[in-house]
């Protein structure tokens, strides 16, 4: 009887040891799987950032042509008013909405290029680590700002689209939802830009601690 009990105890101990090794093996496998998933996500985020930077450059170029078109519109309106007493209808409304849209179209590239307004009085007086912390704090404030902007813009955008809100009277009426939608979309771009800039900063990949390295991102 004692021999039988000893064998049972020995088998139970062996099963526990085998279970422990199996649990350890599963943990190691899961850990490798998690590491592989994190690596894939990291690579994907790097490639996504490259694509976003390319997109922001194209958007910036589009906004520059839009600004040139506005200048031509203003010139034509002034000449028509002065020479023929016939201004271009809706010029005020077009310019009023375009200025807001153009401003937000240029924000993401301004973030990536380090062209946002800043002061170097405090940054020049502290060590590099504190400067990096200040940049991170500023990036987090930017994230909060754009998140709040999305939160406040979404209801007005949906309402403007639903009811067909417009500005202007007479022959030319300018719908307001495209401008509100531009603010909304560019706010998402701004969130991604600030988040990726924080990551690039802590990976020491920023140029002069200010601007993103464009498409030359090390994502391997």
Q: Is residue 170 part of a domain?
A: yes
Dihedral of the alpha carbons of 81, 86, 88, 89, in degrees to the nearest 10: 120
Q: Is residue 212 part of a domain?
A: no
- What burial class does residue 135 get, using C-beta atoms within 10 Å of its C-beta: 0-12 exposed, 13-18 middle, 19+ buried? buried
DSSP 125: G
> Residue 36: what pLDDT?
62
Q: Is residue 80 part of a domain?
A: yes
> Residue 67: what pLDDT?
93
Q: Is residue 208 part of a domain?
A: no
Instruction: Give the pTM.
Output: 0.74
Contact between residue 63 and residue 102 where contact means Cβ atoms under 8 Å apart: yes
Tens of each residue's pLDDT in the chain, 220 residues: 444 444 454 444 344 434 444 454 454 445 555 466 656 666 666 677 778 888 888 898 999 999 999 999 999 989 988 888 888 888 888 888 899 999 999 998 888 888 777 777 777 777 888 888 888 998 999 999 999 999 999 999 999 999 988 877 766 788 889 999 999 999 999 999 999 888 888 887 777 767 766 533 343 4
Number of helices (H) and strands (E), helices first, in the chain?
A: 5, 2
Q: Dihedrals φ, ψ of 174, to 5°?
A: -100, 115
Rounded Cα distance, 218 and 205, in Å: 8
Largest CA distance in the chain: 118
* Residue with tokens 């800039």, as numbered in its chain: 197
Give Cα separations from 130 to 121, 124, 215 (angstroms).
13, 10, 27
Q: Is residue 218 part of a domain?
A: no
How many folded domains does the chain comprise?
1
Which residues of 150-202 form beta strands (DSSP E)?
166-167, 174-175
Written as one string, the DSSP assignment of 56-112 is HHHHHHHHHHHHHHHHHHHHHHHHHHHHSS-PPTTHHHHHHHHHHHHHHHTHHHHHH
Q: Assign 3-state DSSP to the chain and report helix, strand, coil percentages, each to 5.
A: 75, 5, 20
Q: Is residue 65 part of a domain?
A: yes
Contact between residue 56 and residue 193 where contact means Cβ atoms under 8 Å apart: yes
Domain carrying residue 70: 2-202
Q: Is residue 131 part of a domain?
A: yes
Q: Is residue 209 part of a domain?
A: no
């Amino acid at each position: 009887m004692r021999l039988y009990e000893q064998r049972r105890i020995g088998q139970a101990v062996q099963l526990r040891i085998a279970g422990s090794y199996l649990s350890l093996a599963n943990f190691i496998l899961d850990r490798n799987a998690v590491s592989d998933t994190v690596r894939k996500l990291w690579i994907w985020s790097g490639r996504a950032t490259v694509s976003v930077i390319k997109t922001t450059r194209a958007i910036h170029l589009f906004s520059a042509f839009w600004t040139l078109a506005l200048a031509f519109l203003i010139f034509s309106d002034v000449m028509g008013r002065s020479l023929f007493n016939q201004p271009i209808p809706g010029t005020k409304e077009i310019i009023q909405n375009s200025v807001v849209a153009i401003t937000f179209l240029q924000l993401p590239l301004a973030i990536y290029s380090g062209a946002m307004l800043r002061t170097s009085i405090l940054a020049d007086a502290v060590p590099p680590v504190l400067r990096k912390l200040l940049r991170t704090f500023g990036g987090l404030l930017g994230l909060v700002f754009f998140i709040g902007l999305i939160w406040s813009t979404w209801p007005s955008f949906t309402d403007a689209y639903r009811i067909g809100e417009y500005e202007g009277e007479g022959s030319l009426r300018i719908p307001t939802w495209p401008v509100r939608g531009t603010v909304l979309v560019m706010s998402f771009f701004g969130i991604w830009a600030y988040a990726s800039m924080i990551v690039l900063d802590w990976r020491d990949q920023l140029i002069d601690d200010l601007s993103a390295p464009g498409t030359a991102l090390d994502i391997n």
